[in-house]
Amino acid sequence: MKLFNTLTRKKEYFRPMDGEIVKIYSCGPTVYSSPTIGNLRAYIFTDILKKSLRHIGGFEIYDVINITDVGHLQSDADEGEDKIDEAARKKKITPADIAKQYTDEFIRDTILLNIDVPQIWAPATDYVKEMVQHVRQLEERGFTYITSDGVYYDSSKFADYYKLRGGKSDDRVGSRVDFGEKRNKNDFCLWRFAKPTALQKFDSPWGAGTPGWHIECSAIARKYLGDQFDIHTGGVDHIPIHHTNERAQTQALTKKEMARFWMHNEFIKINGTKMSKSLGNAYTLTNLTDRGYSPLHFRYLCLMTHYRTIMNFTWESLDSAKKSYENLVRQIKKNKVPVDADEFSSALVDDLNTAKAMAALWKATPEQALEFDKVLSLGLKEALEEKFMEIPENVAELVQIRAECKKNREFQKSDQIRDEIKALGYEVLDTSNGPIIQPIR
Ligand code: AMP
Ligand code: ZN
């Protein structure tokens, strides 16, 4: 299998370190608000990665996802208030309640999207002890210094700091910006002293405070996956700060490359612009299902774009994904000659080319489609069994016209259409969830 490694900026052959089990760490959600469809794309990508490794590579997976319930400030670069604290203050509930609500939402969405549950879900607040220990070790080895704000990592002490983000030191680039008490521009907080207003705080050798955001992943990954593991994933926004800093913290102690492969998914944009709460376009999965789309229509849409390509979301694109999905199911039912299964697997082993794998799926027989769906997880078993898919288009059209008539209280006309549908061999049952259509036996 070939995978694109951000560390080397090229596709490389992948094999797990120990030959059998692939150890994967994925940076998890910050649970201060509902997950956006952008966040969800990141986990659809890792799901495809893991299922390809399992079903095509034949490997076992050992995977960890953290849940950031403390330490992530408003800006990734250590500025502003803790995101969870801020949400708790606004909603007048505890940080723990905020974290629970949005962790539940996140897990619900991943289940709806057929994303496998990881072996380890690690909420950051359960691992503060490990984080403190990690910071202590960095302190003992001279990688830290203390400011009035907290314990900081001295990035100038780690020679390999810039490797993942690419390029050279930018510590001296541009005018001397104000980085306060920090010694170097890229230094970052490992442990933050508690402000009087902080809602969450933990004991530490440096007094009450909260861990920095990056340290949670270093400590959790090291606990479960050891000093070095196979693959580390996240969105591209994590490359310059979060992952660069995780690497620096871990490798300062271990002297080993933390992860052999670093993999990053591109962003979802909305109508070509950034998704943001303030623009009102930070869509959630519920926004999509409220408009009548299934979560799997969204999964289908994601699979049509390579994970390293920016995905531009529009309602039209989702609508065409829905139509394609329905046509795909009809097509698979008609396919009698199997497609060369190699066409499917060779696409995925080439850095997870899902769009190409989907092209093979269109040519698959129903039996093959179920096999391919172990990786793609588009719910094809249920879809292939569903009766409504077999309804001819003219009947479906009449059902829709009849629904319109009923809405306009034209009952005589709607009854007439019911008879027409009957004449075509189908029966309409009205339910509170809309009409159900069944062939008359
Ligand atoms: P967060 O909850 O912000 O910590 O992010 C969770 C994951 O979603 C991270 O891997 C991010 O890089 C990723 N992510 C955030 N926004 C987007 C987006 N618009 N498109 C794709 N991935 C994103
Ligand atoms: Zn992380």
Q: Cα(203) to centroid of ligand 1, in Å?
A: 30
Q: If pLDDT is split at 50, 70 and 90, which confidence band does 121 have? A: very high
pLDDT at 389 over 60: no
Amino acid in the structure at residue 260: R
Q: Cα(65) to centroid of ligand 2, in Å?
A: 9
**Integer Cα distance of 119 and 23 in angstroms:** 11
With a pLDDT cut of 70, the percent of the chain lying above it is 96
Q: What is the dihedral of CA 349, 351, 356, 360, to 10 degrees?
A: 20
Ligand 1 atom with the shortest distance to the CA of 233: 10
**Integer Cα distance of 39 and 115 in angstroms:** 13
> Region 85-102: what's the mean pLDDT?
94
> Region 35-57: what's the mean pLDDT?
97
pLDDT at 429 over 90: no
pLDDT value, residue 153: 98
Q: Cα(43) to centroid of ligand 2, in Å?
A: 13
Instruction: List ligand 1's pocket residues with C-beta within 6 A.
Output: 27, 29-30, 38-39, 41-42, 68, 234-235, 237-238, 265, 267-268, 275
Exposure class string for 239-272: b at 16+ Cβ within 10 A, else e: bbbbbbbbbbbbbbbeeebbbbbbbbbbbbbbee
CB 55 within 8 A of CB 385: no
Q: Which residue has the tokens 């774009």?
A: 305
pLDDT at 390 over 70: no
Give the closest residue (by CA) to ligand 1 atom 8: 39
Amino acid in the structure at residue 121: W
CB 321 within 8 A of CB 300: yes
> Region 400-424: what's the mean pLDDT?
91
- At 7-30, the pLDDT tens digits run 999 999 999 999 999 999 999 999
- Cα dist from 14 to 28, 131, 201, 328, 350, whole Å: 23, 30, 41, 32, 11
Q: Cα(147) to centroid of ligand 1, in Å?
A: 30
Enumerate residues 6+ apart whose C-beta is below 8 A from 42: 26, 233, 234, 235, 265
CA 104 to chain centre: 15
Burial class (CB in 10 A: 0-12, 13-18, 19+), 321: buried
Q: If pLDDT is split at 50, 70 and 90, which confidence band does 425 have? A: confident
Q: Cα(28) to centroid of ligand 2, in Å?
A: 7
Q: Cα(401) to centroid of ligand 1, in Å?
A: 42
The winner for highest mean pLDDT among 136-145, 188-197, 381-390 is 136-145
pLDDT value, residue 169: 73
pLDDT value, residue 426: 85
Range with the lowest mean pLDDT among 206-215, 383-392, 420-429? Answer: 383-392
pLDDT at 276 over 70: yes
Ligand 1 mutation target, pool 39, 49, 102, 266, most atoms within 8 A of CB? 39
- At 123-152, the pLDDT tens digits run 999 999 999 999 999 999 999 999 999 999
**Integer Cα distance of 323 and 326 in angstroms:** 5
**Mean pLDDT, the chain, as a whole number?**
93
Q: If pLDDT is split at 50, 70 and 90, which confidence band does 337 have? A: very high
Ligand 1 atom with the shortest distance to the CA of 39: 8
- At 152-180, the pLDDT tens digits run 999 999 999 999 998 777 765 554 566 88
CB 210 within 8 A of CB 97: no
> Can you give the three-state secondary structure of the chain, one letter per residue?
CEEEECCCCEEEECCCCCCCEEEEEECCCECCCCCCHHHHHHHHHHHHHHHHHHHCCCCEEEEEEEEECCCCEEECCCEEEEHHHHHHHHHCCCHHHHHHHHHHHHHHHHHHCCCCCCCEEEEHHHHHHHHHHHHHHHHHCCCEEECCCEEEECHHHCCCCCCCCCCCCCCCCCCCCCCCCCCCCCCEEEEEECCCCCCCCECCCCCCEEECHHHHHHHHHHHHHCCCEEEEEEEHHHHHHHHHHHHHHHHHHHCCCCEEEEEEECCEEECCECCCCCCCCCCCHHHHHHCCCCHHHHHHHHHCCCCCCCEEECHHHHHHHHHHHHHHHHHHHHCCCCCCHHHHHHHHHECCCHHHHHHHHHCCCHHHHHHHHHHHCCCHHHHHHCHHHHCCHHHHHHHHHHHHHHHCCCHHHHHHHHHHHHHCCEEEEEECCEEEEEECC
> Region 222-240: what's the mean pLDDT?
97
CB 86 within 8 A of CB 35: no
pTM over 0.75: yes
pLDDT value, residue 391: 75
Ligand 1 atom with the shortest distance to the CA of 234: 10
Ligand 1 atom with the shortest distance to the CA of 237: 12
Ligand 1 mutation target, pool 70, 237, 245, 310, most atoms within 8 A of CB? 237
Shortest-distance ligand to the CA of residue 263: 1
Q: What are phi and psi of 50, to 5 degrees?
A: -65, -40
Nearest residue to 97 (alpha-carbon basis) of 5, 229, 199, 233: 199
pLDDT at 333 over 90: yes
Q: Cα(137) to centroid of ligand 2, in Å?
A: 19
pLDDT at 219 over 80: yes
Shortest-distance ligand to the CA of residue 241: 2
Shortest-distance ligand to the CA of residue 214: 2
Q: Cα(39) to centroid of ligand 1, in Å?
A: 4
pLDDT value, residue 173: 55
Question: What number of other Cβ atoms are within 10 A of residue 418's Cβ?
Answer: 20
Exposure class string for 38-72: b at 16+ Cβ within 10 A, else e: bbbbbbbbbbbbbbbbbebbebebbbbbbbbbbbb
Q: If pLDDT is split at 50, 70 and 90, which confidence band does 433 have? A: low
With a pLDDT cut of 90, the percent of the chain lying above it is 81
